[in-house]
A and B are shown apart, each in its own frame.
Chain A
Amino acid sequence: MVQFNAQPVDASFAALSDATRRGVLVRLARKDASITELADTFRMTLTGIKKHVSVLEQAGLVVTEKVGRVRTCRLGDSRLEKEAAWIERYRQLWAARFDELDNVVEELMQKEKARGRRKK
């Protein structure tokens, strides 16, 4: 059984505090990508995305390898980064649901207002 050690969790926590970096993990969970591809996906400069990848690499979440002129990024092999990517997908599912729920809540409030606030 793989242990869920506190230390790597702490180390990766800062890396995961940024939405772009979480997005990079989700992207890499689907498929390896070059720095250029990541920059395109996230509409960032090469320098900008390199900084994010570097933080993820230092936290041990991402591994990069340079072949010729292309640096390829992939998710590390341990359970931790797979888990981080999974939690981000789980979050995205709920976020998508809740964005729709916002509309339902707004509509119900308007209906209630129209009924003249009969309830409290």
Chain B
Amino acid sequence: MDAGRSETVVTNDTEADRRSERELVVTRVFDGPARIVFDAWTEPELLMRWWAPKSFGITFLSCEADVRPGGTYRFVFGHPDSEEPMAFVGRYLEVEPPSRLVWTNEESEDGAVTTLTFEERDGKTHLMLRDLYPSKEALDEAVASGSTNAYPEQFDELDVLLKSLQ
């Protein structure tokens, strides 16, 4: 788990920080050009292949995404612990291939606005994802709820279970 981690070298590690009172920032480097990474975020059939990681036990049921400014999206998931599927809904605010994508998260009133930037350097894409909450309280609330990004806590437990069964 601790192998070769370094703070200065560019790696493919996923980093996450609370960058300010109301924002979370996730960064990751991908071995491919920005236009390809951008496609993987904006074409529903591609998005469905990675958004619900198998290791988290989530099943993607449907994915509708009208990727243009003002267009809406609706991602529906199922998981073994819940009879009710869960939906992520919102609107795209900015769509600038292949460098920038902004959308709202409207599952709750205090949902974040997510900004993605794709910066290509030497054939690699430096991705930055920023979740900006409407207020410090809204982010505090999200943290206090224990649920990461609207996923129920059970997923974490299930993840551990699945790993132990492998």
* Chains A and B belong together in one complex: yes
Give the docked Cα–Cα distance between A101 and B46 (Å).
Answer: 9
Q: Does A109 make an interface contact (CB < 8 A)?
A: yes
Within the complex, the shortest CB–CB distance from A105 to chain B, in Å, comes to 4
Chain B interface residue count, CB cutoff 8 Å, equals 45
Minimum distance in angstroms from A57 CB to a CB of chain B: 19
Chain A residue numbers with a CB within 8 Å of B18 are: 83, 87
Q: In whole angstroms, what is the CA distance A87 to B142 when docked?
A: 11
User: Does B21 sit at the interface, judged by CB under 8 A?
Assistant: yes
> For the complex, is A103 an interface residue (Cβ under 8 Å from B)?
yes
Q: Give the secondary structure class of B's interface.
A: mixed
A93 and B149 in contact (CB under 8 A), knowing A18-B2, A104-B50? yes
Q: Is A20 an interface residue (CB 8 A)?
A: yes
Which of B25-33, B61-69, B74-82 touches A?
A: B25-33
Q: B30's closest neighbor in chain A, by CB?
A: A105
Question: Does A106 belong to the interface (CB within 8 Å)?
Answer: yes
- Chain B, residue nearest A82 (CB): B143
Q: Which residues of A come within 8 Å of B, CB atoms?
A: 1-2, 4, 17-20, 23, 30, 42, 79, 82-83, 86-91, 93-106, 108-109, 112, 119
A-facing mask of B25-45, CB < 8 A → 1, else 0?
010101111011101100000
Q: Does B54 contact A (CB under 8 A)?
A: yes
Contact A93 B56 (CB under 8 A): yes
Tell me which residues across on chain A come within 8 A of B156, comparing CB atoms: 30, 89
